[in-house]
Chains A and B, each alone.
Chain A
């Protein structure tokens, strides 16, 4: 893939929405292209600012709204602590991989 094509994939890569094939291709390219790593670092900083303006869901609100929805709809599903930990672990693994690539660009990754 050419750099222009990789550049277009970077926001989806950072958002975690790329399919496995495109993600692998992008990561291979990034591993050997400093210019694209610099581009990744910029998008990573953009993501950090966008994420700061969209704070994560506080657990207390998750529980409160979940309880209200259960009352209103009669649903009894509850999220287990194990499933929450699994999700966190998956997100952390991905973030570490991208942070390492940003670090190699010599620019602050900001995420």
Chain B
């Protein structure tokens, strides 16, 4: 595996954006990103090289996010879920607001899949590995997302 500095420089952007897509603020995302890369450095013997390092890193980040969410739940402070910040875009075109509303109504795991494929840049196979489901499941989820968005956009 590449050394941690190289791993960080090549993947920090994607890991950070994945964490932000899950609704965490800038400072928390920075902390979680640091924890993710530190954990990767400590666990590097376990990286088998069968996948891209990014897929492995996103898998580690996903567990860190779950730990953080559980910690916050214990403190009764929840992260703001992605998709609830529509007021940030209030002056955007109607169709964009409509699409944001349609996306906000998707299930959290559907929004996570969109972020993994469209923003982080994982293939369906890589997203399936991160989400621990079959590739076919990812494809059928993607089809359902498309159908739901079309229906909401056209039915509005």
Contacts and interface: CB of A to CB of B under 8 A. Distances in A.
A52 B21 CA distance: 9
Interface residues of B, number: 51
B103 interface: yes
Interface in B22-43: 26, 29-30, 33-34, 37-38, 41
A73 B124 contact: no
Contacts of B96: 45, 48-49, 110
Interface string B110-124: 010011011111111
A61 interface: yes
A15 B33 contact: no
A18 to B, nearest CB: 8
B123 to A, nearest CB: 4
Contacts of A34: none
B4 to A, nearest CB: 5
A50 B115 contact: yes
A77 B118 contact: no
A51 B149 CA distance: 17
Considering residues A11, A18, A66, A70, which has the most beta carbons from chain B within 10 angstroms of its beta carbon? A11
A45 B82 contact: no
B53 interface: no
Interface of A: 7-8, 11-12, 14-18, 42-43, 45-58, 61-62, 64-66, 68-70, 72-73, 75-79, 83, 108, 110
